[in-house]
């Protein structure tokens, strides 16, 4: 399962970041580290960005980036 497939308000832990090192580095700076707990807060309509709860804050990601982050189901 990836972050893009996550049902709303379901808590999971990040299992793998994207293979692209530049994208992975940017995600790490935002707090998307391995084993970090995350949940989906909002889905924008018309395939817009997804907002995730992470470390008591909300962070938006484009769906194609979220689809590259694997999580433990």
51: enclosing H helix or E strand: strand 50-54
The confidence band for 50, taking pLDDT boundaries of 50, 70 and 90, is: very high
Look up tokens 């940017």; give the residue: 26
Mean pLDDT for 44-65 is: 95
Coil, strand or helix at 28:
helix
Q: Please name the fold of domain 3-72.
A: SH3 type barrels. (2.30.30)
Q: What is the pLDDT of residue 73?
A: 73
């Amino acid at each position: 399962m990836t972050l893009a497939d996550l049902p709303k308000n379901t808590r999971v832990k990040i299992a793998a970041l994207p293979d692209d090192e530049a994208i992975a580095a940017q995600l790490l700076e935002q707090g998307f580290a391995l084993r970090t707990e995350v949940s989906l807060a909002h889905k924008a309509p018309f395939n817009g960005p997804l907002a995730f709860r992470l470390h008591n804050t909300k962070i938006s990601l484009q769906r194609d980036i979220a689809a590259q982050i694997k999580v433990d189901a």
